[in-house]
């Protein structure tokens, strides 16, 4: 399948951005756990599945139910999957670091350093940069990043977030 075909399939699917959250949340929980373990958080999928699913849903809401760098205004989506997943008509989310683990090797990535990315967003847009560095591009991308980071700050200050995080301890 060609990239243009994959992007057209995404554009034609009204559930392209929400499908995986609604139908494959267990995969996202399973892929988040190893990231969190590297920062010293001891988790089990069986014990923490529901809490992590709630946290993922909160991340997704803060991202306006789209990949972190999703912007409107083009005929075809600017977020897409890696070539091995071009057969899917939905975004297969992956975890990305807001503060790059490559630029910050001593940083232990806590849960608040993660976000839901499309493969293109993670590997081609951010590509080991810290999220703040993307702001220099300006325009619609900088506006999107600013909006999402603001919503995340509000989320992280909320009681519901603190309550869910406490359940991970």
- Is residue 109 in a domain? yes
- Is residue 31 in a domain? yes
pTM of the model: 0.91
How many domains in the chain?
A: 1
- Is residue 168 in a domain? no
- Is residue 119 in a domain? yes
**How far is the CA of 126 from the CAs of 46, 130, 135, 137, 153, in angstroms?**
32, 7, 11, 11, 20
pLDDT above 90 (res 102)? no
Q: Can you give the residue range of the structural domain that contains 132?
A: 3-163
- Is residue 107 in a domain? yes
- pLDDT, tens only, 51-84: 999 999 999 999 999 999 999 888 999 999 999 9
- Is residue 26 in a domain? yes
- pLDDT, tens only, 105-156: 666 668 999 999 999 988 888 878 888 888 888 899 899 999 999 999 999 9
pLDDT above 90 (res 35)? no
| Cα–Cα distance measured from residue 137 to residue 33, given in angstroms and rounded to the nearest whole number | 32
- Is residue 16 in a domain? yes
- Is residue 169 in a domain? no
Q: Which residues 6+ apart lie within 8 Å of 15 measured at CB?
A: 22, 90
Q: Which residues on adjacent β-strands are paired with residue 114?
A: 97
């Amino acid at each position: 399948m060609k990239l243009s075909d994959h992007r057209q399939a995404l554009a034609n699917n009204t559930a392209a951005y929400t499908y995986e959250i609604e139908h494959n949340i267990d995969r996202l929980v399973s892929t988040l756990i190893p990231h969190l373990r590297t920062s010293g958080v001891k988790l089990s999928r069986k014990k923490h599945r529901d809490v992590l699913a709630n946290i993922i849903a909160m991340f997704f809401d803060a991202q306006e139910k789209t990949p972190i760098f999703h912007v409107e205004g083009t005929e075809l989506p600017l977020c897409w999957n890696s070539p091995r997943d071009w057969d899917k008509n939905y975004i297969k989310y992956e975890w990305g670091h807001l503060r790059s683990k490559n630029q910050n090797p001593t940083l232990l990535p806590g849960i608040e350093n993660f976000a839901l990315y499309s493969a293109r967003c993670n590997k081609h847009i951010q590509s080991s940069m810290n999220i703040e560095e993307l702001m220099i591009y300006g325009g619609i991308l900088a506006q999107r990043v600013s909006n999402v980071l603001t919503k995340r700050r509000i989320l992280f200050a909320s009681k519901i977030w603190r309550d869910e995080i406490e359940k991970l301890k």
